[in-house]
Amino acid sequence: MQSRSTAGYRLIPQTSEQQLERLVRSELTGCPWHDVKAMLRDVGLRPTRQRMALGWILFAKGDRHLTAEMLYEEAGKAKVPVSLATIYNTLNQFTEAGLLRQIAVDGSKTYFDTNVSEHQHFFIEGENALVDIPNSDVAVDKMPSVPEGYEIARVDVIVRIKRKS
């Protein structure tokens, strides 16, 4: 298939939902396609082809931590035609809708967590990997005073670990 160009924009030929479903299902196993559609509708997001495909890739493998670049690579392997900008937009939409949790590490690396329950993380240095810590295993004894007009939205604890030499 050839792509068309209009006013400087590159248009990717449309893929039917059934074709996209076959492409993605051939690579992944896990949550059914209709569950992703229901999940998107439940949070008020329209289940577009790209959201459906990215939702399938994100949630079909259970709880996990991905960067936008990791999801872009997985989408490419699954033959899902999507730009990195669309990946970022979709991840941000999913986060705002409560489907993902955004975890910033070092200010330069952002991970998206499919587990939105209260929990904390180990960050494995040298491997750039996040591992969940059950919330019951972390205790924060004292919180700082919050400036007037603000309230604490969430507390994220990231414990940096490295393999023993």
Domain edges within the chain: 16-105, 115-161
pLDDT at 77 (0 to 100): 94
Is pLDDT of 9 > 70?
no
**pLDDT class for 1, splitting at 50, 70, 90?**
very low
Q: In the 8-state DSSP scheme, what is residue 108?
A: T
Residue with the larger pLDDT of the pair 7 and 119? 119
Contact 30, 60 (CB under 8 A): yes
Q: What is the pLDDT of residues 38-76, one digit of tens each?
A: 889 989 999 999 999 999 999 988 899 999 999 999 999
Instruction: With residue 158 as reference, give the H or E element that holds it.
Output: strand 158-161
Q: How does the average pLDDT of the chain come out, rounded? A: 80
Could you tell me which CATH number the domain at 16-105 has? 1.10.10.10
Q: CA angle at residue 32 from 120 to 79, to 5 degrees? A: 90
